[in-house]
Structure formats: structure tokens, C-alpha cells
Amino acid sequence: MRVFVPATTTMLRALIDDGEFSPISRTAFAVTPTLREAYSSGDDDELADVALREAARASLRLLGGEGEVDETDGGADADADVDAAAAAAAAGSAPRRVVIAADVDPVTLRPDLDDAVVRLPQPLALRQVASVHVDLAEAEPAVRAAVEAIDAADLGDVDAEFVLGDAEDHELAWYAPQEIPFLLDLM
């Protein structure tokens, strides 16, 4: 089954360096029977695009969790977040959504979480990767704003949802597995 694994550039580097990585809770997105039922029309490619977009949105949450772009927290961890963001920027790791497309069998369907959610049976191996989808540099400001707005959007804030839409308007660029090391060197 083709799955779409939300990730960050840090996770992508771990995949290249270690040959595998374990996604958070081994969560991924795919064209599941429940996702097919949720759409009255749409071919496999269109449904795969839905799953990929769900993974891209999950990547925003991962970016916020890494502290790569959260500079306005104001809490006790604000200095640590700013330091992490500065270190990431110095290392050339700007905020970009990353989705890893891979072929994995078997997966566990998780319709209790969402229509497209699946759980991977084990860490994702580099040999399973079919492609990687990453934001281009021009998307970085929109992605940074979306990371800061995603929690508010989840709680129903219409303005925050527009901010997410600005990031989601940027298409993710496609890269073959053998291009990943070069991509990381250029970032």
C-alpha cells in the first residue's frame, strides 16, 4: 500500500543517515476504504492527493513540535524555542513540510483517528521510499505562519484556517529517493 508519512527535514536526514526512521506513533496516511467512502467521486490519484495533503498538514504539527519555527510562544520554553529556531536556521534547516511516500504492507487502518490514517507495522526503511515531497524555498514564510496558526485552526479559528490555506496553496516538489541526499545538501 502506498502511504504518505509526515516528516520534517530533521527526520529526512535521520532516514538518510540511519537507513530508517520511526515516524511519530508510526502514523501515516493512505487511500483507505474509509477515505474512499468519504468521497462520492474521485479516482485513485485524486484520493492519493487527499492523503498526501493530510500528511502535509501533519508535517506542520511536527515542525511546531520540533520548535523549528515557534518564536512567539512567550512561555518558559520561549528562549529554548528561539534558540532551536536559530540553530535550525544556521544549519540551513528552514521550515518546510516534508512528506515521504513509501510502499508498506501490511498497515493497520485507523478510522477511529481519521479517514486516511494508518499505522505502520515497523520503522520506515529507506528501501521502501518511493518519493519525497518537500516545500520549495518560496513556501517558507507561509509554512512558518501556518505552524504558528495550526492549533488555532484546529480549534475552529477561521482566520487561522486561511493562514493554513496560504501554506497549502504551495505545491510540494517531488524528489526521487536517490535525490534526497542532494536535496538535503542544498537546503
Lookup: cell for 27? 502514523
Flag residues of the chain having pLDDT under 70: 67-93
Contacts for 88 with CB less than 8 Å, ≥ 6 apart: 66, 68, 94, 95
* Parallel, antiparallel or unpaired: strands 124-125 and 20-21: antiparallel
H/E element, 109:
strand 108-109
Give the model confidence (pLDDT) of 81-136 as tens digits: 334 444 444 344 579 999 999 999 999 999 889 999 999 999 999 999 999 999 99
The secondary structure element, H or E, covering residue 14 is helix 9-18
